[in-house]
Amino acid sequence: MRSIKTRYYSVLLATTSASFLTPFTTSSIAIALPTLSEEFKVSLATINWVANIFLITLSSLILVVGRISDWFGRGRIFLAGITLLMISSLATFFTSSYEELLLFRFIQGVSASLISSTAIPILVDSFPKEKRGLGIGVNTMAVYMGLSLGPLIGGYVVDHLGWRVLFILKALIATIALILTLLVVDLSSGVAPKPDPARSILISTSTVLIVYGASSINTILGFISASLGTTLFTYTLISEKRDPKLLHPKILSKKPISANLSALLNYSATYALTIILSAYLQKLRGLQPADAGLILATQPVIQAALSPIAGHISDRYDPSTTASVGMFIIASSISALLLINHTSPLTNLLVILAVLGVGFALFASPNTTAIMNMSPRDAYGSATAFLATMRFVGQALSTSIVTSIMRIENDLFIAMRLSTIIYIVLSVLGAFFSLIARGSRGMPSPGPPSPKARGFSGCNCYRGMRFEESCQVLEELIN
C-alpha cells in the first residue's frame, strides 16, 4: 500500500515540477527582457520575440501534440518534453547571439507543448479516482506558483547572478522531473487511433499564421498572414463540427465556444501586462529587476491564494456568471492603469495588481468549471486541450500586440497606454462572451455517445477515461 502511494506522489512530483516550469519560464523571462535587449543590442520590440517565439510554438502545437500523445503514449511524449527542456535550457546558458537564443526558445516552446498536453492526463491515469482531485489541485497550484515566483526569482537572479542562471535553474528542475519520469511514469504506447495528419497540419499552420500576423499586423504581410490564418482556423473548426477528428462536436456549440472565446480574450488582455509593467518599472521608474519582480508578483500571488475560494463559489453559483464578474473586475483594473504615470506612487500600482489578481481568480477556475460542466464526459480530453489552445493563443496575441505597438511608437509610455486601451476593449468583450455562456452550472449526464462522437473516438474511447473504462461503458450501452 505504501509503495502504491509512493508511486502516486512520485508521479505527482514529476508532473508538478514540469508543470511549474512553463509558467515560471514565461513570467521570469519577461523580467529579463530589458537586460537581454541591452546585452544583445536589439530594441525592446525585437527582444520581445524571445517571449513570442516560445508562445507561438507552444500554442500551435498543444492541441495536435495532445492528440498524438493519446496514440503514441502520454508518458513517452512527456519524457521527450522533459528531455528537450533540460537540454535546451543548458544550451541557452552558453548562447552567444540573439539568433541562438531564439532557436533555443523555439525548442523550449516545443518541449512545453509536449509537457503541457500530457501532465494532467498522466495524473488522471496514475491516481485512483478518489485522489484525482488532489493531484490536479496540486498541479494547478504549481502552475500559479510558477507565475508568482517567476517575476520574484527571475528579478533576483537577473539582478544578482545574471539572466543565464535562470536557465541553469530550469535545467536542474527538469533533471529532477526527468529522473522521476524514468522511474515511475508509464512509458507504454497509447490506444487511440492515429491522428489525421491533414487536420493536424491545418490547425497548427492556422495558429502560427494568426499569431505571426498579429505581431506584424501593421505590415501587408502581417495582415495577409492574420487573415489567412483566421480563414484556415475557421475552416478547420467547421470541418471538425462536420467530421470531428480532433475536437468533440459539442465543444463547438454556442455556450462552450463562448466560454472558450472568453478565455482567449482574457489572456489576450492580461498576459503581456507583465512585459509592459516590467519595462515601465525598470526603464521609466529606474527600479532594479529584483524590485520590479517583487511588485509584479502581487497579481499571481493574490490569484493563487483566492483560486480555491473562487472554485468554491463556482460550485454554489453559476460559474459563467462568476467568471463574468471576474472579467469585469479585470477590465476595471486594466482601466485603472491609465491613471499611472511617471510619478505615480508605486502603492497605487500594487493596489491595481492586487485587484487584478482578484479578478483573475474569479475568472480562471470558474470559467474552466463552466466549460467542463458543458462538456460530455467523453469530451473532457478534447475540451481541456481546446481550452489550453485558447489560453496559449491568447498569451501569444497579447505579446504580439505589445510588439506591434512598440514597432510603431518608440515612446515607451505612449506605447504602454495604447496597449492598455486595447486590453481594456478585449477584457470587456471577454466579459460579454462569458455572460453568453451562463447557465452552465449543472453537470451533464454522459449519455449514449452520438454517431459523430463514435466516429471521432474510434470505440468511443477518446475521452478523459482510461481505455478499459471507456470501452466498458460502451459495451454496457450496447448491451
Give the CATH number for residue 7.
Answer: 1.20.1250.20
Rounded alpha-carbon distances, angstroms, from residue 21 to 28, 407, 439: 10, 30, 35
Domain shared by 234 and 124, yes or no: no
Q: Is pLDDT of 292 > 50?
A: yes
Per-residue pLDDT reduced to its tens digit, 312-329: 677 677 888 888 999 999
- Check pLDDT > 80 for residue 95: yes
Pairwise CA distance, residues 242 & 295, whole Å? 48
pLDDT score recorded for residue 261: 92
- 349 near 383, Cβ under 8 Å? no
Q: Do residue 153 and residue 216 come from a single domain?
A: no
**Looking at the predicted structure, is the pLDDT value of residue 150 above 70?**
yes
The mean pLDDT of 296-302, rounded to a whole number, is: 84
**Are 2 and 133 members of one domain?**
yes
pLDDT at position 461 is: 38
Q: Do 169 and 186 lie in a common domain?
A: yes
138-147, 206-215, 393-402, 445-454, range with the lowest pLDDT: 445-454
Show the domain range for 31.
1-193
Q: Tell me whether residue 31 is in a domain.
A: yes
> Angle at CA 64, nearest 5°, toward 58 and 67?
130
**Are residues 354 and 297 part of one domain?**
yes
Stated pTM of the model: 0.70
* Residue 320 is assigned to a structural domain of this protein: yes
Domain assignment present for residue 64? The answer is yes
Say if residue 156 is in the same domain as residue 226: no
Same-domain pairing of 115 and 129: yes
Please report whether residue 98 resides in a domain.
yes
Q: How far apart are CA 80 and CA 78, in angstroms?
A: 5
Write out the three cell numbers for 284: 521609466
More confident residue, 432 or 289: 432
- Note whether 52 and 5 are same-domain residues: yes
Query: What residues contact residue 9 under an 8 Å CB cut-off, 6+ apart?
Result: none
Q: Do 319 and 230 share a domain, yes or no?
A: no
| pLDDT over 50 at 212, yes or no | yes
Give the whole-angstrom CA distance, residue 24 versus residue 115: 14
Q: Residue 140 has which C-alpha cell?
A: 494547478
- Nearest-angstrom CA–CA distance, 358 and 300: 9
Cα torsion 14, 20, 24, 27: sign:
positive
Same domain assignment for residues 163 and 297: no
Q: Give the DSSP letter string of 41-93.
A: T--HHHHTHHHHHHHHHHHHHHHHHHHHHHHH-HHHHHHHHHHHHHHHHHHHH
What average pLDDT does range 295-317 have in this prediction? 78
In a domain, 277, yes or no: yes
What distance lies between CA 239 and its chain's CA centroid?
Answer: 25
Cβ burial, residue 53 (10 Å; 0-12/13-18/19+)? buried
Question: Is 233 a residue whose pLDDT tops 60?
Answer: yes
Averaged pLDDT for residues 439-468: 41
Cell numbers 470531428: residue? 244
Residues 180 and 295 in one domain: no
Residue 378 has pLDDT above 60, yes or no: no
Average pLDDT taken over every residue of the chain: 79
In sequence order, which residues have a C-beta less than 8 Å from that of residue 36 and are 6 or more positions away?
47, 50, 101, 163
Residue 102's CB is within 10 A of a number of other CB atoms, namely 16
Listed residue (66, 64, 77) closest to 18, CA to CA: 77
How many domains are there within the chain? 3
Give yes or no: residues 179 and 232 share one domain: no
Helix, strand and coil percent figures for the chain, each rounded to 5: 80, 0, 20
Give which of 271, 273, 209, 203 is closest to 238, Cα–Cα: 203
